[in-house]
Amino acid sequence: MTDTTTRALALLNLLQTHQHWSGADLARRLEVTERTVRRDVDRLRELGYRIESAPGLAGGYRLEAGSAVPPLLLTDDEAVTMAIGLRAAATQHLVGGPEVTLTALAKLEQVLPSALRRRVNALASSVQPVGMGDAPVISPVVLSELALASRDGERIRLNYTDVWGVESTRRVEPHILAPADRKWYVLCWDLDRDDWRTFRVDRITRVEHSRVLFTRREISEEEVADRILIATSWSPQKIEADVVMELPLAQMEERFGIWAQGASAEDTAHSRWPFGGADWREAIYALLWIPPGVEYTTDFPEPHRSELREALVRMLRALDAPPPVARHTLSSDDSR
């Protein structure tokens, strides 16, 4: 293999790892001049790779889908089979984790011509992996676009419909895609809220790329896991209520951390916090989060309010009553 061929393959690999490269960055990574980069780009174009280029400071190179499958030593049927398999694997959380699966799928679909992409979409819609029948329907196009933006560190706009059916457009920096509870979530830095937000992918109807790159913000794996956990439980509950606690919002958020999501200031000295559950037993767990010594009121609805009160009264009676005589246990002498 000639040096020219080796360099062209290295260039192709770089173009497949990010959506956009500047000529200077490619020249630096390949240790050649920008003029050589331009010649190698032309060679790849002759081989069937569609590489878009733009001049200027914000310009550079971007690998686009071509009119035919580039020479990856794959037949059309093999390319379609691989795409279908990767989609199924992503849904089933296989092949080294969702990030590996999604980035591999994004690379493949990025270069599929439109005819083959239509075949993939048609086949994928009729293939339902075992155990996912009650999972929400997710657009594979949206999932792939989110994977690309997260991989490349690119700011995007989302058309999102929340749990109450309210539609909005969100400007975000996608951090990570994660499957949980038979759904997909994307954790983003919301530029308009100036905070982290987690979105359900099945509620995203459109992804608009900005081609503006961002520097990733620091967030621990533990906080990522907690935010995804909160998102899985953040949905309409059978019982919903509010707590108004004698705690300023800033102090409340400091004590509750990310579990303060949804809280608001009632006034300068009080915070309002929504909670709920399938029944009063689940809801009481939320009330136990309120710090010791902090007084609060709640609009917990009937008849669940009476059920909770009756259970608490019995619990207090049990705690006030003398403890039962402990069972006799065998001493070391008894066992002889």
Q: What is the pLDDT of residue 75?
A: 66
Q: What is the pLDDT of residue 125?
A: 53
Alpha-carbon torsion angle 89, 92, 93, 96, nearest 10: -40
Question: Which helix or strand (DSSP H or E) is residue 294 part of?
Answer: none
- The Cα–Cα gap between 7 and 76 comes to 27
pTM of the model: 0.50
Q: What is the pLDDT of residue 235?
A: 59
Q: What is the pLDDT of residue 136?
A: 65
Per-run averaged pLDDT (10 residues), the chain, 336 residues: 74 76 88 91 85 75 66 64 68 49 70 75 54 61 80 90 84 87 85 89 90 89 82 70 92 84 88 84 84 92 91 92 72 53
- The Cα–Cα gap between 176 and 97 comes to 12
- The Cα–Cα gap between 185 and 174 comes to 11
Q: What is the pLDDT of residue 285?
A: 82
